[in-house]
Amino acid sequence: MKSKRYEEAERVLSGALRLYCASYGKGAEELIDPLMLRAQARAAHVGHSARSRYKRFVDDALEIVEDSRGKDSYLYASLLQEGGKIGLDDAGDRFALEYLERSYSAFTGNLAEHELERFLAGFYLGKYFFSRKQYRQAEMYLAEALDLADTSSDKDTQLELAARAFLVEVYDHLGQREKSIAQCRAIGEAVPFNMDQEPQPIFRRKPEYPRSALDTGREGYAVVEFTISDEGFAKDVQILETKGSIGFGRATEDYLQNVRFAPRFVKGKAVDTPGRKMKVSFNIAR
């Protein structure tokens, strides 16, 4: 079904591009938006043997801007950033790095006055290296982006929190526990703690599916109660209920050892919060 939607999107966008070319000419800037939408549709077409060809549409858009405004223009750098983001988020393409590095060079160079774009340039490079499990490079760019967010009066809080969430994972992978805890606490201090909402890990991971349940096609869930420590860890974990397999309870315990939470703050200080309940579902992807 999803594949059919992407095919339909590509047909519609292909027709739109033909109309735009006929109306404005092949080199018109009006073609940029439909070209980038076509790139995104192609990149997101999971399973498509030619989805990496999204670059063709990004490069066509870049060529238009190069001819009309030049490679040093803000629009050219923005399209590099958007092309890298499409390659990273939609295609999972290692060639996204080329776009992201060129965008970073522009927004830390002659276009450095654009602070949001400079933040995003570092953030997306950090995210790219994180996706490749190159955690030291990821930490360098994410920390740089976070420094910019901390000093900018126009920072976007959600973007700052996203950078902190990635850094929690990065520092965990690098074995830098105290730095990971510091980011958990920073998120907890910035985001009001909702006692009425089920706890949400800072960085979403999938629990490991028990082999015995997977082999027999069993699905289900586990309900657990635990304490979120002042450092963002789950402790005192108790299995309250399981359905489908007793292994779901053990898998949930293991899962909670590998995720982090934003701790609750009381009077400016992080505190333990007991009695938190959470349901972890196990469903076999179809």
Cα–Cα distances in Å, from 60 out to 7, 38, 113, 255? 21, 11, 27, 45
Q: What's the pLDDT band for 51 if we cut at 50, 70, 90? A: low
Residue type for 54, please? Y
- C-alpha span between 249 and 255 (Å, rounded): 10
Amino acid letter at 165? A
The fold adopted by the segment(s) 211-282 is 3.30.1150
pLDDT digits (tens, 9 = 90+) for 188-220: 999 999 999 999 999 888 899 999 999 999 999
User: What kind and span of H or E run contains 238?
Assistant: strand 234-243
* Residue 285 clears pLDDT 50, i.e. is over it: yes
Average pLDDT, the chain: 91
Q: What is the pLDDT of residue 1?
A: 32
- pLDDT at 70 exceeding the cut of 80: yes
pLDDT value at position 47?
58
Residue pair 87/55 in contact (Cβ under 8 Å)? The answer is yes
Question: Is the pLDDT at 22 greater than 60, yes or no?
Answer: yes
pLDDT of residue 41: 87
Q: Are strands 220-228 and 273-282 parallel, antiparallel or unpaired?
A: antiparallel
Question: Model confidence over 212-243: pLDDT tens digits?
Answer: 999 999 999 999 999 999 999 999 999 999 99
How far is residue 117's CA from residue 123's CA, in Å, rounded to a whole number? 10
Q: What are the DSSP calls for 145-199, one per residue?
A: HHHHHHH-TT--HHHHHHHHHHHHHHHHHTT-HHHHHHHHHHHHHHS---TTS--
Whether residue 274 contacts residue 260, with contact meaning beta carbons closer than 8 Å, is answered with no
- Helix or strand (DSSP H, E) at 220: strand 220-228
Residue 163 CA to residue 155 CA, distance in Å, equals 12
pLDDT above 90 covers a percentage of the chain that reads: 76
Which sign does the torsion angle of CA 57, 63, 68, 70 carry? positive
Nearest to 209, CA basis, from 146, 281, 275, 158:
281
Average pLDDT (157-184) is 95
| Domain range list for the chain | 1-111, 114-175, 211-282
pLDDT digits (tens, 9 = 90+) for 98-113: 999 999 999 999 999 9
Retrieve residue 185's tokens: 């606490």
Predicted confidence band of residue 78 (pLDDT cuts 50, 70, 90): very high
Query: What CA–CA distance (Å, rounded) separates 78 from 150?
Result: 23
Given a cut of 80, whether residue 156 has pLDDT beyond it is: no
Q: Is the pLDDT of residue 42 over 50?
A: yes
Please give the Cα distance from 202 to 192 (Å, whole number).
Answer: 14
Question: Would you say residue 152 has pLDDT above 60?
Answer: no
> In 3D, which of 124, 119, 123, 117 has the Cα closest to residue 99?
124
- Whether the per-residue pLDDT at 16 is higher than 90: the answer is no
Q: Tell me what percent of the chain is helix, strand and coil, each rounded to the nearest 5.
A: 60, 10, 30
Confidence of residue 50 (pLDDT cuts 50, 70, 90): low
